[in-house]
Amino acid sequence: MKAFGLAVVGIVACLLGQGCSGSEGGGGQSDAGDGLDAGATDDYLTPTPELVPDVMHTYAATYSAVYGEILQPSCAWVFCHGAAGTFLDLSSKEVGYASLVNVPASGRACGDSGLQRVEPGHPEASLLYLKVTTPPCGDKMPLNGAAATLDSSEIAQIVAWVEAGAPNN
């Protein structure tokens, strides 16, 4: 039931022009590329801490842990990266991996950066890591407000996974 409520909140946000990564001046998706590096200008619906699901953190350096503990609860919201479209799709673990690893950055803000979303073995050259720390382009992620900013342990988990070669494990 909670997931249904979150989906409704996301749909309403899109319809009101307050969400949808990569949108410009209204609801829905634009042709700006993926929201991970699109640098969108809309205001975003900021989920309150009580809307963000509690996650049991293992901080394991595996893709399963990174997806389940960080990407899914912080990024895969229906109005961000949880729906299929022209932006980064994290709607499932499998689709997310295929959208991240060895995939060039795209979108107006970061498309010409020459970065990969995740470059195995190289977090410093991976847009995923850069976007949650000090982005060279676009907005810092997640765009869910200060309540959803990743903590240093979560960032270290991403780094460890990427340094390990970003395996699909």
Inform me whether the pLDDT recorded for 35 exceeds 70. no
The strand pairing partners of 118, in sequence order, are 101
Task: Answer yes or no: is pLDDT of 14 > 50.
Answer: no
Asked, for residue 168, whether it belongs to a domain, the answer is no
Give the model confidence (pLDDT) of 16-28 as tens digits: 333 333 333 233 3
- Can you give the pTM of this predicted structure? 0.69
Domain that holds residue 123: 2-163
Question: What would you measure as the largest C-alpha separation in the chain, in angstroms?
Answer: 42
Count of CB atoms within 10 A of residue 91's CB?
16
pLDDT value of residue 4: 38
Q: How many domains does the chain have?
A: 1
pLDDT digits (tens, 9 = 90+) for 52-97: 557 889 999 999 999 999 998 888 777 777 775 557 888 899 999 9
Closest CA to 33 of 96, 82, 85, 79: 85
For residue range 110-147, list pLDDT tens digits in order: 999 999 999 999 999 999 999 999 999 999 998 765 45
User: Does the residue 169 lie in any domain?
Assistant: no
Residue 80 has a pLDDT of 77
Res. 38: pLDDT tops 60: no
What per-residue confidence (pLDDT) applies to 151? 93
Distance, CA of 100 to CA of 114 (rounded, Å): 14
Residue 156 lies in a domain: yes
* Predicted pLDDT at 76: 76
